Amino acid sequence: MTSANLLITGGAGFIGSHVVKLFVKKYAHYQVYNLDKLTYAGNLENLADIEEYPNYHFIKGDIQDFSHLQELFEKYQFQGVIHLAAESHVDRSIQNPTEFINTNILGTVNLLHAARNCWNDQQSHRFYHISTDEVFGSIEEPDLFVETTAYDPQSPYSASKASSDHFVRAFHNTYGLPVIISNCSNNYGPYQFPEKLIPLCINNIKNLLPIPVYGQGLNVRDWLYVEDHALAIDLLYHGGRIGETYNIGGNHQCRNIDLVKTLCQIMDRKLSRSSGESENLIRFVKDRAGHDLRYAIDCSKIREELSWSPSVTLETGLEQTVEWYLNNQTWLDHVTSGHYQNYYQEQYHHR
């Protein structure tokens, strides 16, 4: 599929910024429009290396503003949408579920409406919606989530994403809108806001702050390096089958406590600390409400159809991620400034 004008929502966020940079650099014939509200997790510093590219355009805007979306679709005649804009943090959704409803559900429906209103020739367009494995709830060992696994969301965040998935499918089934959906596992890597497990641990370890771990740290997550995810998104946008859903996972399941201990070992080595010094910072705290025990993804469908598989092992990815955060203290200082700094030092946030 070729596309002249491509809209990427949430492109100043963690995953979105990696996707925007990949498309801008790889597809010079695309005009890439990055629509982002620039909330706390959206940061234009993530895109500093492409801001002068002639095929990159930033638009500050909110997907909750339908009239603005309609104007943008009419003005730029987008031939494709990659929809990443979302409130994504579980703990925040527990504190304020309405914000997640407004952005993740209503915002997605606004985008769907705007696309449907402007796309008369459906077959030459594509609406790609990025979602999460959390919509499936928890799964027992040794089973894996497949694309047909029944939805069982347990948090306001996962419920909002499940709802948005259903609306995307409904617009395909009802109106014929050309859609693709993917559900990914936990992403990690450079530019992730330090409310999430890995960058929070790195920051706290560096500053000799406590590392609170929910429960006993036995919750299992599948870890996907963000650049691998961006490559999968590229393949699905161009080659995924319309109306289909694809799982994207890292094939690296790990208990939270084991992940934290691995980070402690890497940090001890890179900061020339004695072995076990960082691990002494771990503190077990009361578990999160509705905390899913285990996520695990089967991504054989995308492997078989598009020959994609994760290329970065968890060991290599963690080394690269730690190195990036240690070398980018200015970026970290900027995103943790103000009232966020104390908030994220005192609390433990991860999916």
CA-to-CA separations, 67 to 107, 111, 113, 332, in angstroms, rounded: 12, 10, 11, 35
Q: If you search the block for the tokens 């491509």, which residue do you land on?
A: 6
CA-to-CA separations, 267 to 163, 204, 274, in angstroms, rounded: 39, 11, 10
157 flagged as catalytic:
yes
133 flagged as catalytic:
yes
CB atoms within 10 A of CB 341: 14
* Residues 185 and 248: beta-carbon distance below 8 Å: yes
Rounded Cα distance between 25 and 105, Å, is 31
| Bridge-based pairing state of the strands 179-184 and 186-188 | unpaired
* Residues 262 and 212: beta-carbon distance below 8 Å: no
The active-site residue out of 33, 157, 191, 237 is 157
The active-site residue out of 36, 62, 87, 133 is 133
CB-based contacts of 302: which residues, under 8 Å, 6+ apart? 182, 232, 235, 236, 246, 247, 248, 308
The active-site residue out of 134, 195, 228, 234 is 134
Rounded Cα distance between 303 and 248, Å, is 9
* Residues 57 and 24: beta-carbon distance below 8 Å: no
Residue 114 tokens read as 């705007």
Residues annotated as catalytic (active site), given as ranges: 133-134, 157
